[in-house]
Amino acid sequence: MQEDVAALERPLDLRLTWRNSFAALGPAFFTELQPTPLPSPWLVGLNLPLASQLGLDAGLLASPSGVQALTGGLAIAGTRPLASVYSGHQFGVWAGQLGDGRAILLGEADTLAGPQEFQFKGSGLTPYSRMGDGRAVLRSSIREYLCSEAMAGLGIPTTRALSVTGSDQPVRREEIETAAVVVRVAPSFIRFGHFEHFSAREQYGELRLLADHVIDRFYPACRTTDKFAGNAYAAFLEQVSERTAVMVAQWQAVGFCHGVMNTDNMSILGLTIDYGPFQFLDGFDPGHICNHSDEQGRYAYNKQPNIAYWNLFCLGQALLPLIGDQELAIAALESYKAVFPRELEGRMRAKLGLADAQPGDRELIEDVLKLLAKDRVDYSIFWRRLSGRVAGQSADTVRDLFLDRTAVDPWLLQYSERLTPNGRGLAADLMRKTNPKYVLRNHLGELAIRQAKEKDNSGVATLLGLLQAPFEEHPDHEAMAGFPPDWASQIEISCSS
């Protein structure tokens, strides 16, 4: 016991080499500060596979001093905590300065998975907290923890989540909840909004420093390209546009709604970031709005591709002082319009088990989506059952999903003609690797959250395991791959987190 007390006073050594390269950009970019500890934190979830990928000692992280360190109550040796400043467009309107209002960057470390930044979310007030309290509630922290790993399990670019720790400290939202901290991990947490910030303030020196930092570290090929008359900043905009296009195509194919695609929630690396009111579709509704606060439906599921382009346009405008030529900026953004449809079609074809493209594929995809939308057929279950059908199961498992069971027959016939007889085995394989059995539906998260509020973390751990291997069968957890219960549609997810 005495050892523990002594250990809590010394910074914890995670045996990582910290480099803090963001801090090297200079004081215009951040404020150095310490996280505000939470009383008596406990571990709600520790992501063991990620800890091991990073080369971290899970036993140390789960120890009393580890849990303190993961919550911001004990310094981590070698880190220089800071909150960064950014701005952004929220719901289509310039919002001015925002910044890490409840996130604190620990720094960048060399890990087994390469250089990675570590960041707390929910670790107390910063100079950018505005009206907020600097905290995140347990509910939304568990959602972020699980969804980061669900996306990673699906192969979708995302920030990762190492841990979630809870505390009895009350936090006021619509009702009184309790505080939690998520430790997020990503190569960089820089957002479109970081660039908008310095551009809007005409701080072009800082804008250039930031762009050079990101290009040198993550987009070095932009320095040597012949495209755009050798303009590295235009090439950078093009690369970000492409990565964003790939990410959003993956969202659409898997039925993921982000919910708050403000420019400050867009990663410069094309990672899914800032999990708030997100949702995986249950019944297929193209106009689905997952964020209860989004009254206009700006971030509806079927609007996401255009919103991403709108956000890239804001980034393009922010980079214009560096690019120096509007035509080049517009040309760089064009890549989104080429890459997004190509990627989406490729992903949808893979969902159908079609490895190559043929004329008529687009119609086949559009037709099935229309059928799904008409009856609000469960999106994930449809694709998984179709995969089973191609693997030899009865067509009835698919037909049963439709109000009129014969409605899908003409499409099934057309699809079966498109699948060559000897290609069925390959198609079934591809489909089982493409169409997940397990997605983080709202009600699954909700059940795990209810348990965790009662200090039972087993639901979070079980769900994490399923979501990290979403294409596997997991016969003991069949129910979690089933239809959502009736009460699922009553769950209201808003910006409140």
Least Å distance between CB 133 and ligand AMP?
A: 5
Least Å distance between CB 420 and ligand AMP?
A: 47
Q: Which positions lie near ligand AMP, rule CB under 6 A?
A: 98-102, 128-129, 132-135, 260, 262, 265, 274, 276, 495
Q: Which two tokens stand for residue 86?
A: 């950014």
Q: Residue 276 binds which one of Mg ion, ligand AMP, none, with CB within 5 to 8 A depending on kind?
A: ligand AMP
Q: Residue 238 binds which one of ligand AMP, Mg ion, none, with CB within 5 to 8 A depending on kind?
A: none
Size of the site for Mg ion (CB under 5 A): 2
Residue number with CB closer to ligand AMP (7 or 495): 495
Q: Residue 129 binds which one of ligand AMP, Mg ion, none, with CB within 5 to 8 A depending on kind?
A: ligand AMP
CA pair distance 348, 342, nearest whole angstrom? 10
Q: Residue 78 binds which one of ligand AMP, Mg ion, none, with CB within 5 to 8 A depending on kind?
A: none
Residue number with CB closer to ligand AMP (179 or 466): 179
Least Å distance between CB 102 and ligand AMP?
A: 4
Q: Which of residues 170-209 bind Mg ion (CB under 5 A)?
A: none
Least Å distance between CB 291 and Mg ion?
A: 13
Residue 376, phi-psi category: left (phi > 0), alpha (psi -120 to 50), beta (remainder): left
* Interface map 235-274 toward Mg ion (x if CB under 5 A): ------------------------------x--------x
CA pair distance 39, 323, nearest whole angstrom? 49
From 100, 264, 294, 378, the catalytic residue: 264
Residue number with CB closer to ligand AMP (128 or 379): 128
Residue, CB closest to Mg ion? 274
Distances in Å between the alpha carbon of 459 and those of 42, 167, 187, 313, 372? 16, 18, 29, 41, 31
Q: Residue 106 binds which one of Mg ion, ligand AMP, none, with CB within 5 to 8 A depending on kind?
A: none
Q: Residue 277 binds which one of Mg ion, ligand AMP, none, with CB within 5 to 8 A depending on kind?
A: none
Residue number with CB closer to Mg ion (65 or 126): 126
Residue number with CB closer to ligand AMP (83 or 466): 83
Least Å distance between CB 202 and ligand AMP?
A: 21
The reply to whether 100 sits near Mg ion by the rule CB under 5 A is: no
Neighbour-count burial for 257-291, b at 16+ CB within 10 Å, e otherwise: bbbbbbbbbbbbbbbbbbbbbbbbbbbbbeebbbb
Decide: 273 and 311 in contact? Cβ < 8 Å: no
Least Å distance between CB 89 and ligand AMP?
A: 11
Least Å distance between CB 262 and ligand AMP?
A: 5
Q: Residue 144 binds which one of Mg ion, ligand AMP, none, with CB within 5 to 8 A depending on kind?
A: none
Least Å distance between CB 277 and ligand AMP?
A: 9
* Closest-CA residue to 423 (of 398, 390, 384, 389): 390
Q: Which of residues 340-379 bind Mg ion (CB under 5 A)?
A: none
Q: Residue 343 binds which one of Mg ion, ligand AMP, none, with CB within 5 to 8 A depending on kind?
A: none
CA pair distance 183, 289, nearest whole angstrom? 28
The reply to whether 87 sits near Mg ion by the rule CB under 5 A is: no
Phi, psi torsion values for 296, nearest 5 degrees: -80, -10
Q: Residue 267 binds which one of Mg ion, ligand AMP, none, with CB within 5 to 8 A depending on kind?
A: none
Residue number with CB closer to ligand AMP (294 or 446): 294
Residue number with CB closer to Mg ion (165 or 267): 267
Least Å distance between CB 446 and Mg ion?
A: 22
Cα 316–chain centre separation: 22
Whether 133 is catalytic is no
The reply to whether 144 sits near Mg ion by the rule CB under 5 A is: no
Residue number with CB closer to ligand AMP (83 or 444): 83
Residue number with CB closer to Mg ion (128 or 284): 128
Active-site annotation, residues: 264
Residues found near Mg ion in the complex (CB under 5 A)? 265, 274
